[in-house]
Amino acid sequence: MRIYLLLIAFSFTASYLLTPMVRSLGERFTANQMVRERDQHRAPIVKFGGVAIIASFAMGIWLASNFHFFRGVFGGQAIQGLSLALLVIVILGLADDMFDLRWWIKLLGQILIGWLMATHGVLIQSLPVGSWRIDEQWLQVVVTVFLIVLTMNAINFSDGLDGLAAGLAAIGAATFFVYSYVLATHVSADDYANLGALLCALLLGACLGFLPHNFNPANIFMGETGVLAIGLILSVSAIAVTGDVQGLEARRFRNIPAYMPMLLPMVIVFLPVLDLVLSVFRRLANKRSPFSPDSKHIHHRMLAQGHSVRRAVILLYLWAAVIAVSVVSIAFIPVILVIPLALILVLAAAIGTWWPLVVQRVGTMRKRLGNS
């Protein structure tokens, strides 16, 4: 655990120090940018923060490669594939942030990123439901690419308020790290170095280091580069976790709901995925491209209810934490204890979320009664 904590601290420090440097460099490219109608800021802001996140993550990978503890993690091709995919993300993300690429170009780039991971050994070969295996290699590639593209777009849809995507990613990475670490210790008590735990530890530190610069009022955004990188790292971690669960014989983890590990990545980004699904249906119903932007996301609706940007972001943090922690806790705590605790947390989050709307309705009713 001490090595992981060291890596979290290292990536945090690197991200915190690199972000102002990237902002200073990026200011040269933002002077002529237009503020879009759906944006929450009034002046152009640098969108290259994802470069700092990726750079600090890469520095953490380099540091981890020097520890004998991670010799098994660096023995395969996964890290090499991840490095190539992150390079594509930097090129694609910067191009989109500067030139606003068409949706189909971005989709093709995302498919390429998923394909790079699949051809470097990061494949979903089985699902943790009984003994369901995927034997056809082409189907393994398709399922893997689909999960990676879905997760990247889910994170992308959450990047609408200052600090929202970075905070949700940090919560997801922290939750995933704990689950991956404990799972790895059950797989092998002697060698529990784990790809998923390593990636999430570095992502956690990188996002936390970036967050002070990105929280409202933000002075830099992560841009397309950041959201794609976060989605990629979380999805690769998820694929590694499903592989661990499939080979696990520990009775405690076999007793948890079989579908939980498979759904874990989607649970962590539950709100972005929900927002993604609702947005696609909404745009198709209006005869628009599902990739066309609008200002009707969950966070936009919270602002319309009367929440400030900071309060809306914190409430979304709370929802993400409640959902992720509640589901992951099933692996460690009896369900009979998790359910009442989860219900209490959901009730508290719901009251905080809809309280301004209740106050507004009560005020409207009082006015009507007073006029009558």
Classified as helix, coil or strand, 170 is helix
> How many secondary structure helices (H) and strands (E) does the chain include?
14, 0
Specify whether the CB–CB gap between 126 and 247 falls below 8 A: no
Ramachandran angles phi, psi of 219, nearest 5°: -110, 0
Give the model's pLDDT for residue 94.
Answer: 95
Give the model's pLDDT for residue 243.
Answer: 62
Long-range contacts of 313-317 (CB under 8 A, 24+ apart): 313/161, 313/162, 313/163, 313/164, 313/167, 313/215, 313/216, 315/349, 315/352, 315/353, 316/161, 316/164, 316/167, 316/168, 316/271, 317/167, 317/168, 317/171
Closest CA to 160 of 349, 33, 301, 324: 301
Helix pair angle (78-99, 103-118), 10° resolution: 170
Tokens of 289: 């491209």
Residue 337: how many other CB atoms lie within 10 Å: 11
DSSP 266-281: HHHTHHHHHHHHHHHH
Closest CA to 187 of 117, 124, 261: 261
Rounded Cα distance between 2 and 33, Å, is 44
Using CA atoms, how far residue 263 sits from 128, 205, 239, 266, 358, in Å, is: 10, 24, 11, 5, 34
Closest CA to 127 of 115, 116, 139: 139
Give the model's pLDDT for residue 133.
Answer: 72
Residue 90's contacts (CB-CB under 8 Å, 6 or more residues apart) are 50, 51, 54, 225
Tokens of 244: 């661990």
Give the model's pLDDT for residue 257.
Answer: 40
The single-letter DSSP state of residue 40 is S
372 residues of the chain, pLDDT tens digit each? 889 999 999 999 999 999 999 999 988 877 666 655 555 556 678 999 999 999 999 999 999 999 999 988 898 899 999 999 999 999 999 999 988 899 899 999 999 999 999 999 998 876 655 556 777 889 989 989 998 998 888 788 777 778 988 998 998 899 888 888 887 777 666 667 889 899 999 999 999 999 999 998 899 999 999 999 999 999 898 888 776 555 554 444 444 444 444 555 556 566 666 776 777 777 777 777 666 666 666 666 777 777 788 888 888 888 888 887 887 777 677 778 888 888 988 888 888 877 776 777 777 777 777 766
pTM assigned to the model: 0.85
Give the model's pLDDT for residue 253.
Answer: 46
Give the model's pLDDT for residue 223.
Answer: 93
Rounded Cα distance between 262 and 62, Å, is 29
Using CA atoms, how far residue 216 sits from 40, 77, 162, in Å, is: 10, 39, 5
Question: Helices in 70-131 by DSSP H: which ranges?
Answer: 78-99, 103-118
Rounded Cα distance between 15 and 343, Å, is 36
Our CA dihedral for 50, 164, 242, 12, rounded to 10 degrees, sits at 50
